[in-house]
Structure 1
């Protein structure tokens, strides 16, 4: 495996983020703080394009030497380009929510076409074939994941740290399961995000933007489904690794829906946002790193090794995260 090339793509991402930051400063492409912002200083935005380009340029290179499966390459490449371009346009203007959502479903459908849809799932020792219902559920899952990644990209470094933790965790799981060839795409994504994180770690000198966050969401979703095709228990493991973002975003959305809030109305009611106002960006971002490393990865590993049934492992991993969501008022409307 051409592991030695990974630092090259990290360096490329680092350099490209610097270029994008200079361009944003010259062109005044800035994120100006408002009442719904979690930052207080005007900051360049759009740096997530560095992640997109670094990862998508790396995929064909590795596919040419048979280090990445061609169907996986087309799945990630096509969906990634589509979602990133949609986010880029939205970053620089505005796309109506209905058209944006249509584009999201189109990207998810492309991803599923090349991956072969949703594979059989393991549930308490049984294998479940869901057929077309499974494909519909997988489409909704991908669309939700890319949107929740947008929602969760609200403080410095959190989306980058989450992506790196999930990708490295997934790659390690492939290693212990004897599937090293599958580890390359998540390692490539981790390498690309690491170069960007240098500029995005608190206090951030550039923001990711919708192009980067939506791209990360759909690519991580695609990698999780690819894992399911390799081994059904691995899907549970990936869902566990993604737990911090899935639980906070889903809990917050459910509470806002019950209250009758508009879904696309800007807000600062996620648990991580409430926590960041109390403790600051850096402690919360580092807390996500610790939770992923100390809690979620060990549980995901037990599931991957089949010492723990997938749904039981998911429940075990998510219950403390739900308690944290309650503790930090996920979905609670801000005073005033």
Structure 2
């Protein structure tokens, strides 16, 4: 019966995202919500100037609709989940939407108010930590503890340090996913495999609700790729990338295996690490660069890789990471 639930989640999320593109892209064009291409990217990205952004609204609407549409299907299967698991599902969805709202504010200020940098870094971090804290408190009040599972090791208790570490990981992940959004189709492709891997892990652990939400998220990424694959007709903007980061975090923490973010989010971590290393190396060497350009996908662009090739290679890395996570759950839990 779970197969009906998963199919429902996938079809609704994919269909709504794909169909919304036919209406939302012209609407964003009409509102002149076009992307401003900054100097940090390759010079040929200037050709993308004016491409509509905030397209992440398409899959945010689709995923939220899919989750709520699946509630009656879920109950019809006769499967019941604990109160804690229900809180993890809806608090996780709320966290992702809240991160998307922060991204929307950033996009709105940048594009509509003509303030190129949008929210300041301090403003974004304060808001992001507030959202992460709200999620962790919600789960904690529902009975979630300070322990976490590590495959092949077992459950470990981190005490109150768990909350500090979890908040840092969630905010770091959200910003890492944001850095991954730099070329046509990249974030959607990488996130599809991340969601698929986490959804399968949740399924193996019999966490049906979280698994369905992960499948809906993966399907929505495919629906968005119809419009976002090179040459992109729309960008997700910070609205979409921060939402995706929140959703990946919600699934990993929801199944109580945030350690899986290491293999599943390998591309994300490489993206943000390349930025950190580039800045540190630039300051330490008084102007020299470790990479031709950061984040790392721009380095490969400068080396002559096409956007499609980068999407394929980075997507395969994410696929391998998801497979490793699934193997760890199957044999190490």
TM-score, scaled to structure 1: 0.80
Q: Which runs of 4+ in 1 moved over 6 A?
A: none
Deviation at 1:180, TM superposition (A): 4.6
Task: Please give the per-residue CA displacement for 1:146-180, whole angstroms capped at 9, x wherever unaligned.
Answer: 11111110011111011110111222233445555
Structure 2: unaligned runs, 5 residues or longer = 76-80, 110-117, 285-291
Residue 7 of structure 2: aligned partner: 4
Residue 244 of structure 1: aligned partner: 267
Deviation at 1:258, TM superposition (A): 5.3
Q: Is residue 2:223 matched to residue 1:195? A: yes
Note if contact 1:156-1:200 (Cα within 8 Å) is conserved in structure 2.
yes
Provide the rounded CA distance (Å) in 2 between the counterparts of 1:81 and 1:123: 29
Deviation at 1:13, TM superposition (A): 0.8
Provide the rounded CA distance (Å) in 2 between the counterparts of 1:97 and 1:300: 32
Which residue of 197, 213, 218 maps to 1:185? 213
Note if contact 2:57-2:240 (Cα within 8 Å) is conserved in structure 1.
yes
Structure 1 pair 168–124 and aligned structure 2 pair: CA distance change class (3 A): closer
Residue 280 of structure 1: aligned partner: 306
Structure 1 pair 284–79 and aligned structure 2 pair: CA distance change class (3 A): same
Deviation at 1:268, TM superposition (A): 4.4
Task: Please give the per-residue CA displacement for 1:41-81, whole angstroms capped at 9, x wherever unaligned.
Answer: 22111101111111122223334555685312331232223
Q: Is residue 2:302 matched to residue 1:299? A: no
Residue 98 of structure 1: aligned partner: 122
Q: Is residue 2:189 matched to residue 1:161? A: yes
Task: Please give the per-residue CA displacement for 1:8-29, whole angstroms capped at 9, x wherever unaligned.
Answer: 2211111223322111211221
Provide the rounded CA distance (Å) in 2 between the counterparts of 1:25 and 1:299: 41
Cα RMSD over matched residues?
2.5
Task: Please give the per-residue CA displacement for 1:118-147, whole angstroms capped at 9, x wherever unaligned.
Answer: 532437635320011011000011111111
Note if contact 2:151-2:328 (Cα within 8 Å) is conserved in structure 1.
no
Q: How many residues align?
A: 297
Note if contact 2:102-2:239 (Cα within 8 Å) is conserved in structure 1.
yes
Note if contact 2:92-2:254 (Cα within 8 Å) is conserved in structure 1.
no
TM-score, scaled to structure 2: 0.81
Structure 1 pair 73–132 and aligned structure 2 pair: CA distance change class (3 A): same
Structure 1: unaligned runs, 5 residues or longer = 229-233, 262-266, 310-336
Structure 1 pair 215–182 and aligned structure 2 pair: CA distance change class (3 A): closer
Structure 1 pair 90–181 and aligned structure 2 pair: CA distance change class (3 A): closer
Residue 55 of structure 2: aligned partner: 47
SS in 1 for 2:150: strand
Note if contact 2:89-2:209 (Cα within 8 Å) is conserved in structure 1.
no
Which residue of 18, 22, 25 maps to 2:29? 25
